[in-house]
Chains A and B, each alone.
Chain A
Amino acid sequence: MPRSAFNVAWHASLPVLFGYLILGLGYGLYMHNLGFAWWYPPLMAATIYGGSVEFVIATMLTQHFNPLTVLLITFVVGFRQFFYAVSMLNRYDSGDWRQWLRIYGLSDETFAVNYTLHVPTGVNRQTVYTWVTVLDYGYWISGALFGGCLGQALALQIPGLEFVMTALFIVLCLDQWQRESDHLSTLSGLVLTALTLWLVGKTYFLLVTLLLLVLEYSWLDWRRRQS
């Protein structure tokens, strides 16, 4: 029996369910501790929908109103998503209105899951991508809502559970590794990210890594055209 698109998406998104509930909960608690009402975390989760951006904006909300800085910081912190979109240009290939959902919901996890996803024949790829996006979106808002509502009641935490997200990316990275014909890109990512983290620190290393990767690709492309 052919599996439905929702079924494929549900199974693919399950690891994200656990990861997002735990991370979203942590994010909700974080905002609760900054003194925000319960509805802030889910509101920001639903509108901004980008974990790292939301954490930064949460602290900015406690300072003076500065629209320009908000725009710039969000753009810098979220800029890696520009490259997720570049990589998804071929995969998100449908002009209908759901394309907006897929682009709006292109988070780290949704990108990684949808990019590596194996869609069985006979199942509509675009529908699976859309469902993964919508499910992930729902998980993140739910986590933020729980965290924001339960606040201190949930001070009890289980240390180490957050490693599930790291494990998920390791798994998706290995899936990618076993599928690619040469490993230059993955190895470059590994070495460059480690190096830039060490050299430029936590704030800008992703941005610098991505710029270096674009440079590396430009050089490879130039050399290929020379020969």
Chain B
Amino acid sequence: MILWQRLATIGLAAMANFLTRVLPFWLFKRPGSQTPPFIQGLGDFLPGAIMAMLVIYCLRDVNWTGPSHGLPELAAAFITAGVHLKWHQTFLSLLLGTGSYMLFINWPF
């Protein structure tokens, strides 16, 4: 690819990506008209599922049949969750969760 083709590729990707974000606002949030109740209900239903989806999305590359069987990821995930349920301090949860993961995968055993 020559330079203008590369820039065009980036521009097209930027447009298409923005389109996925702006389409619902164009389709369902017109000035002077109500958002359809079905879409509103969907918007209330989805976020819980999406948060869970994003957790699994982050773990998509874990090799469950590999030598560690995904144990470091699972253990660190449970530590993060446990710490957060106990203290409700986002930073502490991230620190101990990530810290324990780094410890697990760099531990020589």
Residues of A near any B CB (own CB < 8 A): 14-15, 18, 43-44, 47-50, 53-54, 57, 60-65, 67, 70-71, 74-75, 78-90, 92, 95, 99, 103-104, 106, 108, 111-112, 115-116, 158-161, 163-174, 176-177, 180, 183-190, 192-194, 197, 202, 205-206, 209-210, 213-214, 217, 220-221
User: In the bound complex, how far is the Cα of B45 from the Cα of A192, in angstroms?
Assistant: 15
Known pairs A87-B46, A106-B21 / 16 extra A-B pairs, C-beta < 8 Å:
A61-B1, A61-B10, A80-B50, A115-B47, A160-B98, A163-B101, A163-B102, A168-B94, A170-B55, A186-B51, A188-B49, A189-B50, A190-B52, A190-B56, A192-B53, A221-B41
Across the A-B interface, give the 10 residue pairs with the lowest CB-CB distance, nearest first.
A189-B49, A160-B102, A189-B52, A185-B48, A186-B48, A74-B16, A167-B97, A166-B58, A85-B24, A173-B51
User: In the bound complex, how far is the Cα of B57 from the Cα of A84, in angstroms?
Assistant: 15
Nearest residue (CB) in A for B18 is: A104
User: In the bound complex, how far is the Cα of B55 from the Cα of A193, in angstroms?
Assistant: 9
Residues of chain B contacted by A104 (CB below 8 angstroms)? 18, 21-22
Cβ contact within 8 Å between B97 and A194: no
- Whole-angstrom distance from the CB of B6 to the nearest CB of chain A? 5
- Whole-angstrom distance from the CB of B29 to the nearest CB of chain A? 6
Known: A15-B94, A61-B9, A82-B24. A89 touches B43 (CB 8 A): yes
Taking a contact as CB atoms closer than 8 A, the residue among B16, B21, B48, B84 that contacts A71 in the complex is B16
User: In the bound complex, how far is the Cα of B106 from the Cα of A180, in angstroms?
Assistant: 37
Nearest residue (CB) in A for B94 is: A167
6 A-B pairs with CB atoms under 8 Å apart are A70-B16, A87-B47, A112-B51, A163-B97, A170-B80, A209-B49
User: In the bound complex, how far is the Cα of B22 from the Cα of A63, in angstroms?
Assistant: 29
User: In the bound complex, how far is the Cα of B9 from the Cα of A54, in angstroms?
Assistant: 11
Range for the number of chain B residues in contact with chain A: 35 or more
Residues of chain A contacted by B80 (CB below 8 angstroms)? 166-167, 170-171
- Whole-angstrom distance from the CB of B65 to the nearest CB of chain A? 12
Residues of chain B contacted by A87 (CB below 8 angstroms)? 43-44, 46-47, 50
User: In the bound complex, how far is the Cα of B104 from the Cα of A180, in angstroms?
Assistant: 33
For A85, A103, A164, A220, the residue with the greatest tally of chain B CB atoms inside 10 Å of its CB is: A85
Residues of chain B from 60 to 92 with CB closer than 8 A to chain A in the complex: 60-61, 73, 76-77, 80-81, 84-85, 90-91
Residues of chain A contacted by B47 (CB below 8 angstroms)? 87, 115, 176, 185
Nearest residue (CB) in B for A163 is: B101
